Each structure stands twice: as structure tokens, then as C-alpha cells.
Amino acid sequence: MVSIMVGSVNKVALILLATFAIIIPCLEAGIAELDDYLKAQEAEAEKIALKSYVPSPMDVTDELNYHVHLALTNATLKRRELRQRRTGNEACEASNPIDTCWRCDPNWANDRFKLASCGKGFGRRAVGGLGGPIYVVTDESDDDVENPRPGTLRFGVTQQGPLWIIFERSMIITLKQELLIASDKTIDGRGANVQIKDGAGLTLQFVNNVIIHGIRIKNIIPKEGGMIRDSSNHVGFRTRSDGDAISIFGSTNIWIDHVSLSNCADGLIDIIQASTAITISNCHMTKHNDVMLFGANDMYDKDKIMQITVVFNHFGQGLIQRMPRCRWGFVHVLNNDYTHWMMYAIGGSSGPTILSQGNRFIAPNNDAAKEITHRVNAEPEVWKNWQWQSEMDLFMNGATFVPSGAPIDLAYNKGLIMKPRDGSHVSRLTRHAGALDCFVGRPC
């Protein structure tokens, strides 16, 4: 009897060790050791995250819905005006409030910083490299990750202070190791076809205030790690990277806009470790299994401060699941076009709040995959209390959304607050999702 008990204890110990072996690398996100520099970065990141948290998230969601109404109304009025004048010119097709802020200006290249005023949702405060110099990437190589050459993308993203990064020409960048991006940076791919492919992906770790705009990321693979520069005054040892296109770890005030993502070894966008104040907008995602992960651990309740906006995106061909898969936080899923999934579209565990508004969901022909929502590792008695709500979504081909929890207080009687635009408007709002083909001197 004693030997049986000892054997059971040993089995439990082995299970616990295996569990920690799985969890710890995930939580450390490639950090081999938290040295004094990274400890200071982590402490500062936690302070910024708590400061950026919005106690009344509905104030942010309502404001975004109001701006969607304005953008659609103004776009319609402009088209009517041009038709009445019979000018022969077509109105600018920008119809969502992010794009109307800058895209119809033929001189956008002379005022790239204007983009910094166009963010919406929880990541609206991200201004990236606003106020700093423009840095031009002239060299697509990535030969030295510890001491990158001036002119490379890696050199630019690791500089101190605000920097607005643009590209001299179209280029394919194959990253030798993960690209660690410092705070106060904008990666602006407008005016060039910039592809990051066939190498490592982008990592934002313990940073604040980053914009990633107008690039294409695909075929990202794991890399072995090593000594990698993450700022102009620090090089740290990294373990093996997972193969995410974009990994956001303990970071705040992040805006990802007009990025095309596909076919990576792990996730397209992973947001973990108490990251918050983030918007993912106007992106086009294809050919991938685990699309977006918000929160990596059911035990890590610091992710309760996570607040993320997912808006105007197109979830396209070849996607399987996690659009997104959420834990703990508050996620606003607004006016996205879900044209493809194979298992489910929106899932989660650990009681996240998910507000789905004005999306279009086109279910697959598989009768076993019509349900949009998927609760992970929880019985109905548990998930029935999770606040998952659908409002004015458009369900097609038998798609179903299973709501749960107490109704989210939408409070439409507050001044100018309006209901969201319903899912029938999604095709207009997401028509130009993904990286744009922008030409200097012409509306983008």
C-alpha cells in the first residue's frame, strides 16, 4: 500500500514538473534571465499598464461606434455630392474612421505623422514615433542581431527615443532572430511592399507606444535564440522563439493596422502577460491555425487588465480557430468580416468579457462547425457566468453565437452614444483590410 502511495506521489510530482516546464517558457517569452535592465523594464511596464487600464471600458467602445457612424455617413454624403456634380471622379473609398483620417489625402507621404492621430479603440493612445526623426530602412539584411548595421530595420527599432521608420523601397526582410522592438516606434510600410517572411517574427516585450502599419508578415518560423539586441544600450540572451508573427508581452499602447499576416509556425498575433490598451485594425489574416491568442495561462489573473479592440479586420481563407481566443480581459470585437473558419471563430477560458458587435459571420458548410463561440475547459455551470454578448451581428450560412452571462451595460442613452453599425455594413468597412498598395502623390 505504501509503495502504491509513493508511486502516486511520484507521478503527481512528474505531472507538476511537466506542467511547469510547459508554463514557464510561455511566461518568460524567450527571456533566458531577467537581468537588472529587464527587471526595470518589467516594473515600468507594469506601472504603465495599470495607468492605461480603463475602469469603464464601455466609454471606449461607445466612442468607437460613434466614429463608425460618422465615417459611414460622411462617406455616403461625399459620394452623393460627387454624383450630383457629375464630376466623373469617384469618392475616396475610405469608409471606416481610421482610414478616413488619412487615406484620402494625396499628400499623405508629406505628413506621415498624421497617422498617429488616427487610432481608435483601446490602442487609441499609441502615437509611435510621433515627434521623433524619420529613419529610412535602406538595407534589408539582418546579418548581425547583436550589433545591427545602420540602415537595417533592426538598427532602427532598437534605438532610444521616438523614431518613425519608413522604407526606401520594396524589400523582403528575412529576420535571423526575433526582432525586438523598443518603445516609441512606428514601423510604417506605406509606399513600399515590405515583406517580413521566412525567418523570425516581431516581438514587443515590456515596451510602450508602438505602431505597426502597412507591412506583410508570413511564413514565420522558430529560431534558436542567442544574444539579441533589444535597445541601443542592452543586449540579452534569448531562448528559442515560438514562430509568432507578432508577439506582445507585458506591453501597452500598441496599435497594429493594415498588416497582412499568414502561415506562421505559432500564432499570428499573441498578446500576453498583462499587455493592455491594444487595437488590431484593418488587418487581413489567412492560411493559419491558431490565429490570435489573448492571454496564455488560465492561472495568470494579472491579465484581467487586458483590454483589446479587434476592429475592421478580414478573417479570410484557410483559418481554423482563435479569432481570437481570450482569457481574463475585456475584448471588443467590432465590424469584422469572418468569411472563413474551420473549428470556431471566437473562444476563451478564465471568464473573459467578449463584446461582439456588428460583425459578419459566414459559417463553414461543415454542420459541426457552425457555432462561432467555443468555451475552453469549462462546464456550462461555470461559463454561464462569463459575459459573452452579441449585438447586431450578421449570421450567415447557419452561424450561431451562444451568449452567456449578465447583459453588458451598453447605456445608449448617454448623449451622442449610438448603437453599432450592423453586420451588413462590414463589406464596406473592411474592403481594404490588409497592407495597402500606396503610391506617393496619390490617395492611398
- Answer yes or no: is 182 within a domain: yes
- Answer yes or no: is 174 within a domain: yes
| Cα 76 to Cα 87, 208, 428, distances in angstroms | 16, 37, 11
- Which stretch of DSSP H or E encloses residue 253? strand 252-257
CATH number at residue 371: 2.160.20.10
Q: What is the DSSP code (8-state) at residue 29? A: T
- Got the DSSP string for 104-132? T-TTGGGGGGGGGG---GGGTT--TTTTS
Cβ distance 332 to 63 under 8 Å? no
Cell numbers for 100, please give them. Answer: 478616413
Do you know the residue count of the chain? 444
Taking phi over 0 as left and psi of -120 to 50 as alpha, with beta for the rest, 206 belongs to left
Q: In DSSP terms, which residues pair with 325 in a beta bridge?
A: 293, 347
Cβ distance 333 to 359 under 8 Å? yes
Q: What is the pLDDT of residue 90?
A: 54
Cell numbers for 149, please give them. Answer: 548595421
Q: What is the pLDDT of residue 373?
A: 98
- Answer yes or no: is 10 within a domain: no
Domains: count for the chain: 1
Task: Measure the CA–CA gap between 50 and 43, rounded to whole angstroms.
Answer: 11
- Answer yes or no: is 15 within a domain: no
- Answer yes or no: is 178 within a domain: yes
- Answer yes or no: is 188 within a domain: yes
Q: Which residue matches cell numbers 523598443?
A: 182
- Which stretch of DSSP H or E encloses residue 185? strand 185-188
Q: What is the pLDDT of residue 158?
A: 98
- Answer yes or no: is 21 within a domain: no
Nearest of 320, 366, 357, 316 to residue 337 by alpha carbon? 316
> What domain range is 390 assigned to?
35-67+100-429
The ranges of the chain with pLDDT < 50 are: 1-28, 87-89
Nearest of 403, 412, 366, 364 to residue 384 by alpha carbon? 403
pTM value > 0.85: yes
- Answer yes or no: is 440 within a domain: no
The per-residue pLDDT for range 118-163, each reduced to its tens digit, is 999 999 999 999 999 999 999 999 999 999 999 999 999 999 999 9
Cell numbers for 210, please give them. Answer: 508602438
Which one from 322, 325, 327, 428 is the annotated catalytic residue? 322
Q: What is the pLDDT of residue 94?
A: 84
Sequence-distant (6+) residues with CB within 8 A of 202 are 178, 179, 181, 196, 212, 217, 245, 246, 247
CA pseudo-torsion sign 52, 55, 61, 64: negative
Q: Which residue matches cell numbers 502623390?
A: 441
Is 83 among the catalytic positions? no
Cβ distance 331 to 303 under 8 Å? no
Cβ distance 212 to 202 under 8 Å? yes
